[in-house]
Amino acid sequence: MLTYQLPETINDDIGYYEKTVKDYLSGKTEAIKMKGIRVPLGIYEQRRENTFMVRIRIAGGIITPAQLKEVSQLALRFGSGMLHVTTRQDLQIHDVSIQDTVDVMKALVKCGLSAKGGGGNTVRNIVMSHDTGFCDDETFDFTPVVLRLTSDMINEEDSFKLPRKFKISFSNNGEDTGYAMISDLGLFAKENNGVKGFEVYVAGGLGRKSRPGELLYDFIDLNDLYRTVNAVKAVFYKYGNRKNKHRARLRFLFDDLGKEKFLSMVEEEKERFKKRDYVSLIGNEQIKAENYNKKMPVVANKVWLDRFVRRQENGLYNIMIPLKNGDIEADTAKKLSLSLENFGDDTIRLSNTQNVFLVNIPFKGVQEIYDFLVDKGLYEDTPNIIGKIVSCKGADTCKLGICKTRGAVKKIYELIESEKAVFADIENVNVHISGCPNACGKHLVGDIGFFGRAKQKNGSFYPSYTVMTGGFTKKGHAVFGHEKGEISAKNMPHFLTDVLKDYAGSSNSSFHEYLKNGGEDNINKILSNYSYVPSADEDISFYYDWGADEMFSTEDIGQGECSASLMDLIDSYLKSISQTKQLLKKGEENKPEEEYLYDILLKSVNIFVLLKGYDTDSVNKLVDIYKKEYHNILNDEQLNTAELLLQDTFSGKDTKKRILELSDYALTYYKSLDDNLGFAAAEVSGSDSKSESINFKDYRGVACPMNFVRIKVDLSAMKKGEILEVYLDDGAPIANVPRSVESEGHEIVDKRKIDNYWSLKIKKK
């Protein structure tokens, strides 16, 4: 079957998740821990409380008819009856109860799919140009490589314990239809003297501190792909910011280190991994059709044929099915899957423009697909532009959403369909809409982009969008759209369709050409026509978003789910410990002191264990992990204090003192760690080679003695003989730290000055 290999731990993961759900519903597991467990498994809470979305990993957008049938049935049984295609080629089922998410997870495994990694700080779905294997000007078909890399990545533990999400994208040519330039790791297919491989870019991304990727390698061959991807992931895993999620994406680490240092660290990590045979995955033969020499099929609707059907080199056909808002009724998707079963497994792609792309359709099947689409309302003389409008889910379901993008896009569709002839010839304009500045709709790279925001007039809030134009991405070059101004949500659909009409009436061959030839001025004029926003007394409709029953408000905007992980528990536990200690200090406790002390101790030990990347509900295991991981860091009294958790009861001034002191040290220890929380010394998955390990820390700006305290913590987590390289400031740090390190028995193997700071390499005893 054309799919990826499920994680070996998936059944154990689901078993643990099922137990956690039961404990959560019975009140045994707190909401923040439940969130930290479910989100990395691809389960998000929606805006409406106690309803959930399951995001299913569809590697490269490839899904078989049998899999689509099963997912459709799950949406009908447990969800809203709709399926949603995302901008990263995932499938989402919405409006699922927390109890039913367990059954959905189990059923997905049976058909070879999983939601693990659909959210959280994980390796997310690996995407690729949707027409890979069927594009006339692609370098080569790397479809099996994407599936194999997905299998390798999701079977490695560290892929699910990263500082923040890690997005990998492949493009089959320089047009960058896979959006490789705006991904953490972007790869362009390339041939070098007949050798197949990739041009590699890193540190791209949209949202906070948007930036295009930078060239890391001009060329790597196919067999070097696995170790290169894993090396970049390992650098991120070890050195990424785990304290501040707003600076946790790979691009922040890249900019902090600089390209030269980042590349050298990737090269060091590559020595840990062996090359893997990906070359043999690439075949030279395609499926050949009986009608290889025939022309395009004769279909009743030639307009549909011209717009959405293309003949492949192998004599078969591909068909684009534009979806509105990326949605398709689950019953329709199920029937589509049944109609495709006789055409083979390799027939369905999901595009990152939220459409369905059918491939390898035989001559006779083209008419059958057309009849099906007309019967199900998926084609009604649909203009091409319908499939070019990309939008996130917005405030209808997303907790961070400001504007209801779905309602606005629905109105855009209505306006376009009311004048189909006007929009009929628009093919090459990309419209991207995000419900907030977070760029899930990729508004920065649209020919026309919008992102939602809240505006105010006379004390009343109304939904609004910032308008952007001129964005695009191509290999080696990405330009983010520039802001043109603001438009009310009420007027946004009318503004957009007026701009599209103006473009359609011009003689320009592309939207960028249109912008250069007076389009910018025209857009400014159209925007000014819609600039007036009446007060709520004049026209209350401006203060309602599209599809909303209530006046617009920002009060229900919540915290995002995307970055949730068990590491979030640390801050929660620290706050809880502080509050409980205040109650004890004031004598305001409402239950026996022993219970408060037990809670403080349990959370303190949990903090230490979480900082090593572990989580367990077993107190016995918790104590064992704590003592094993910290035997070289904490003193005997601190280690033995944890064993109080195993006693039936405890009391006494000495016991209370020990518990409170350990809780104080938990905070001190946490603050002493640098931004990567000590993960720089951790082992990474998939490591094969036994080369000398070099860990790196930058302690410039850290004064004595805290710099030595941190180095001591780093060394404690390393193996004998491993090397720790640290950067230290000139003056007291370089004068004091080497002596302190040597007094602990470690060896200084290199000490050299670089500009106004020092590099110190320490070999652990």
Tell me what pLDDT residue 593 has: 86
Mean predicted confidence (pLDDT) in 48-56: 94
Using pLDDT thresholds of 50, 70 and 90, give the confidence band for residue 414.
very high
Q: What tokens were used for 764?
A: 């652990």
Task: Give the residue from 130, 185, 198, 179 showing the smallest Cα distance to 159.
Answer: 185
**Higher local confidence (pLDDT), 704 or 403:** 403
Among the options 135, 436, 440, 704, which is catalytic? 704
Sign of CA pseudo-dihedral 149, 150, 155, 159:
positive
SS (HEC) of 312-367: CCCCCEEEEECCCCCEEEHHHHHHHHHHHHHHCCCCEEECCCCCEEEEEECHHHHH
CA torsion, ordered 420, 424, 430, 432, to nearest 10 deg: 10
Mean predicted confidence (pLDDT) in 103-131: 97
Summarize pLDDT for 581-609 with one digit per residue, the tens: 988 887 776 788 888 999 999 999 999 99
**Higher local confidence (pLDDT), 287 or 721:** 721
Mean predicted confidence (pLDDT) in 445-467: 96
Asked about 135 being catalytic, the answer comes back as no
Summarize pLDDT for 688-701 with one digit per residue, the tens: 544 455 678 888 88
Tell me what pLDDT residue 691 has: 44
Using pLDDT thresholds of 50, 70 and 90, give the confidence band for residue 295.
low
**Residue keyed to tokens 């080369």:** 691
Summarize pLDDT for 380-396 with one digit per residue, the tens: 888 999 999 999 999 88
Q: What span, in angstroms and rounded, lies between the C-alpha atoms of 34 and 39?
A: 9
Tell me what pLDDT residue 232 has: 98
Q: What span, in angstroms and rounded, lies between the C-alpha atoms of 130 and 196?
A: 20
Other Cβ atoms closer than 10 A to 322: 23
Summarize pLDDT for 59-82 with one digit per residue, the tens: 999 999 999 999 999 999 999 999
Other Cβ atoms closer than 10 A to 298: 9
Q: Could you tell me how many residues make up the chain?
A: 765
Tell me what pLDDT residue 703 has: 86
Summarize pLDDT for 147-174 with one digit per residue, the tens: 999 999 999 999 999 999 999 999 999 9
**Residue keyed to tokens 């078969």:** 316
Beta strands in 557-704 (DSSP E): 694-698
- Domains, the chain, ordered by start: 121-285 (3.30.413.10), 302-385 (3.90.480.10), 387-543 (3.30.413.10), 566-672 (1.20.120), 695-764 (3.30.110.40)
Tell me what pLDDT residue 569 has: 86
For the chain, helix (H) and strand (E) counts, in that order, are: 23, 25
**Higher local confidence (pLDDT), 676 or 389:** 389
Summarize pLDDT for 319-359 with one digit per residue, the tens: 999 999 999 999 999 999 999 999 999 999 999 999 999 99
Distance of CA 324 to the CA centre of its chain: 23
Lowest mean pLDDT, pick from 393-402, 589-598, 665-674, 681-690: 681-690
Question: Backbone phi, then psi, for 313, in 5-degree steps?
Answer: -65, -25
In the predicted model, is pLDDT for residue 268 greater than 90? yes
Tell me what pLDDT residue 1 has: 61
Using pLDDT thresholds of 50, 70 and 90, give the confidence band for residue 284.
low
Mean predicted confidence (pLDDT) in 564-577: 85
Tell me what pLDDT residue 647 has: 85
Residue 475 near residue 174, CB atoms below 8 Å? yes
CB burial of 505-539 (b: ≥16 within 10 Å; e: otherwise) equals: eeebeebbebbeeebeebbeebbeebeebbebeee
Tell me what pLDDT residue 722 has: 86
Summarize pLDDT for 419-448 with one digit per residue, the tens: 999 999 898 899 999 999 988 999 999 999
Contacts of 295 (CB under 8 A, 6+ apart): 311
| Burial (0-12, 13-18, 19+ Cβ within 10 Å), 620 | exposed
Beta sheet of 43-45, edge-to-edge order: 43-45, 52-56, 91-96, 82-85, 327-329
Residue 176 near residue 204, CB atoms below 8 Å? no
Using pLDDT thresholds of 50, 70 and 90, give the confidence band for residue 296.
low
Summarize pLDDT for 491-524 with one digit per residue, the tens: 999 999 999 999 999 999 999 999 999 999 999 9
